[in-house]
Amino acid sequence: MSSNRSNHVEKFGKNNDMEAKGIRLLQSCLSRDNSLVFNKSFEGARADFCVVLQNTTKALGVQLKTTGKARKLSIASEQYRFSDTIGYDGLAVICIAMDTSRIWLIPGDEIHSNSIGIPTIQKCQRRHKYSCYETDIDNLPDQLVQILEAQQPQYIFQPIECFIVPASKNRRAEYDAFKRLQQILPLTYVAPDVEQQPYDYTVDGSRWQMKLASYVKTTDRYSSTVQKCAGRLSGKKRAHSQYEQDDFDWLCVQMPIDQRLLYLLPMKVLIERRVAGRLDCGSGHLHMYPHRYAHPKTQWIQNYKIDLSSQEIAIADYQRIIKREST
């Protein structure tokens, strides 16, 4: 990996870690108020989370923005900079300066640029449009309660599902497939605090990476590209690489909803099949033929099939695979 790409990967990781710390800070703060219910969104949703009053149905979507420390603009001027701030009309945008835990609660429709700067110095703050939205961690729950109770007009209040479900078609398909998996295979699924990890869930103590296969009409097969983000080239073009051995324990490849099955493959099999573990390769590929017979060389993957037609069969298939791979 080039030094430039390595730097971008490191920055990407630090930003995700900082946002995860911000989410944990807010979740801990809001959970102390018994009148609020905190709901974390599925990755790809427009809001990072939403809050709703106990025994009510209309929630407030919240987008979190974090920054590490202030930037020095001149001898007498410093600013906290927050990026990707536009496009959140109707949501509450919470900005946190992680080095000092200073917090701003800003209506999304008040932000009209893709990045904002908030001065740190008192005399500059009085003239700044966002300074009036500063609050603190102790008063934040009360302010959110007031917004929800008054149904303040600059915000949009909707059912929880509207905020936690992804907006894009592909992300929504992943969300629907995962919800089906939870219903049919009743295991303990725990999402990591930090988004953009090389695994999606810890499932009964093991790290699972989730993929959704798609049907390719020209070849009459289902395919899944198995790759991760490896930073950006020159800060622009996104680069990809195969997963490494320690990235996750199991790859769960779900089929579209009309195919009631999935494939659960251990990392060691992916490495043996050269789908993972090659640092010089940009991606790996899996091809599946659950609807027809194919070449004998492709039949190995059937050993890792879990039938989702019923919960009883799904549990039995899951236990069979886990038992075989643990011996």
pLDDT in tens, 39-65: 989 888 999 999 999 999 999 999 999
In this prediction, residue 204 carries a pLDDT of 93
How much is the mean pLDDT over the chain?
86
Please determine, for residue 67, whether its predicted confidence score (pLDDT) is greater than 80: yes
Report pLDDT for 16: 63
Rounded mean pLDDT, 85-100: 94
Based on the fold, state whether residues 208 and 128 are members of the same structural domain: no
- Give, in degrees to the nearest 5, the angle at Cα 235 between 232 and 240: 5
Q: What is the rounded average pLDDT of the residues 18-26?
A: 86
Q: CA 238, CA 231: separation in Å to the nearest integer?
A: 6
Query: Domain range holding 176?
Result: 169-326
Domains contained in the chain, number: 2
Same domain, 13 and 155: yes
Residues 148, 234 within the same domain:
no
**Any idea what the CATH number is for the domain that residue 121 is in?**
3.40.1350.10
Q: What is the pLDDT of residue 124?
A: 52
> The tokens of 221 are what?
């097969």
As a whole number, mean pLDDT of residues 304-323 equals 95
Q: Which of 123-137, 227-241, 290-304 has the lowest mean pLDDT?
A: 227-241
Residue 13 pLDDT greater than 70, yes or no: no
Which of 164, 180, 198 is at the close of a domain? 164
Whether residue 160 contacts residue 39, with contact meaning beta carbons closer than 8 Å, is answered with yes
The pLDDT of residue 233 is 46
Q: Provide the pLDDT for residue 12.
A: 44
> Looking at beta carbons, which pairs linking 287-292 to residues 24 or more positions away fall under 8 Å?
287/219, 287/221, 287/222, 287/223, 288/213, 288/221, 288/222, 288/223, 288/224, 288/253, 288/255, 288/263, 289/221, 289/222, 290/222, 290/255, 290/259, 290/261, 291/259, 292/220
What digits encode the pLDDT tens for the residues 134-175?
999 999 999 999 999 999 999 999 999 999 999 888 888 888
Q: What mean pLDDT is predicted for residues 196-205?
A: 88
Q: Dump pLDDT digits (tens) for 246-293.
A: 999 999 999 987 788 999 999 999 999 999 988 777 788 999 998 888
Determine how β-strand 77-83 pairs with β-strand 49-53.
unpaired
Give the residue among 62, 94, 68, 64 at the shortest CA–CA distance from 80.
68
CATH number at residue 290: 3.40.1350.140
Are 143 and 50 part of one and the same domain?
yes
Same domain, residue pair 153 and 66: yes
Cα three-residue angle 9-10-13, rounded to 5 degrees: 85
What's the confidence (pLDDT) of residue 19?
83
Residue 182 has which token pair? Answer: 């939870």
- The verdict on 57 and 14 lying in the same domain is yes
Where does a domain end: 140, 164, 188?
A: 164
User: Given its phi and psi angles, is residue 3 left (phi above 0), alpha (psi -120 to 50 degrees) or beta?
Assistant: alpha
**Domain finish residue from 149, 164, 179:** 164
Q: What is the pLDDT of residue 148?
A: 96
Same domain as 180, residue 57: no
Task: Check residue 127 and give its pLDDT.
Answer: 59
Percentage of residues in the chain having pLDDT higher than 70: 88
Q: What pLDDT is attached to residue 241? A: 86
- Band of pLDDT at residue 9, cut at 50, 70 and 90: very low
